[in-house]
Amino acid sequence: MWDDVIGEPEGIRSPECAWRLSGHCFRLSRGCCYIFLSVLVAPLLALCLGFTITNAPIADILIVWAKCEDEIVRGFVIEREKNQNRLSTPKIDGKFSLRASTTGMILMDNVIVPEENLLRSVEGLKGPFNCLNNARFGISWGALGAAETCFKIARSYTLERSQFNRPLAANQLIQKKLTDMMCDIAFGLQACLRVGRLKDEDRANPQMISMLKRNSASKALEIARTARDMLGGNGISDEYHVIRHVMNLESVNTYEGTYDIHTLILGRAITGLAAFAG
């Protein structure tokens, strides 16, 4: 199992035939760490909320993207077994979202990375940004999958649940909500499919993927919240799973770029003017 971390650990230097990494690779607010996680053995999504790093406590290998002394970003393979006393990944408890995976921090103190563990095929931000774009594209599909599940649960529940001798689904408001949910899912899936085909033709760009991630995550969260409301008190029961999707989608709406971040990315693409520093 491995984690992929984008950051700027302190004190990277190259003595003879090795690299040395130090620092606290978890302070996003101070520009010390921009985090991307991926898992080799399962298609789990990354949780990038400040210092929360998916599967950090159990990862054997970590890929760290860091800015070196020459100001060039490079990728490093860190092996836990060879850095037992220099690398720690304390677990973070108390999550209400994405509970299927463990979460922790990554703390490094003079971690030694041999020369052969330097990723030589890419330099600069191209490598990590390519990871981010592919992750965002996958998230766009996955979020709509959760939304579709919530839609199906809400449809089934309102057809089976009767009040005043008629099913809930016979009411106008219920039918409108189901219709809105179905349309949002269908439009979102068609957009993902189109961009996927453009990716196959090497014609997709990051702005398209920002549009997908922004739309899929926000619409899926809205659909899940609506489904929870349609189930009434049962909407918070683990028997129906809708509340689980609501809590997970709250995280999905945040990681790999929030709704607002992708709004600014698209705004810059539309106007040619950046509304953020740098």
Domains of the chain with CATH codes: 34-123 (2.40.110.10), 126-271 (1.20.140.10)
pLDDT in tens, 202-261: 999 999 999 999 999 999 999 999 999 999 999 999 999 999 999 999 999 998 889 999
pTM here is: 0.80
Any idea of the CA torsion for 181, 184, 186, 188, to the nearest 10 degrees? -140
Q: Give yes or no for residue 113 having a pLDDT over 90.
A: no
Among the ranges given (50-54, 63-67, 138-142, 204-208), the one the predictor scored with the smallest mean pLDDT = 50-54
Q: Give yes or no for residue 49 having a pLDDT over 50.
A: no
Catalytic residue flag (residue 79): no
pLDDT in tens, 62-71: 888 887 777 8
The string of DSSP codes covering 189-206 is HHHHHHHHHHHHTT---H
Cα dist. 12→30, 70, 71, 87, 120 in Å? 18, 10, 11, 15, 16
Catalytic residue among 16, 81, 201, 256: 256
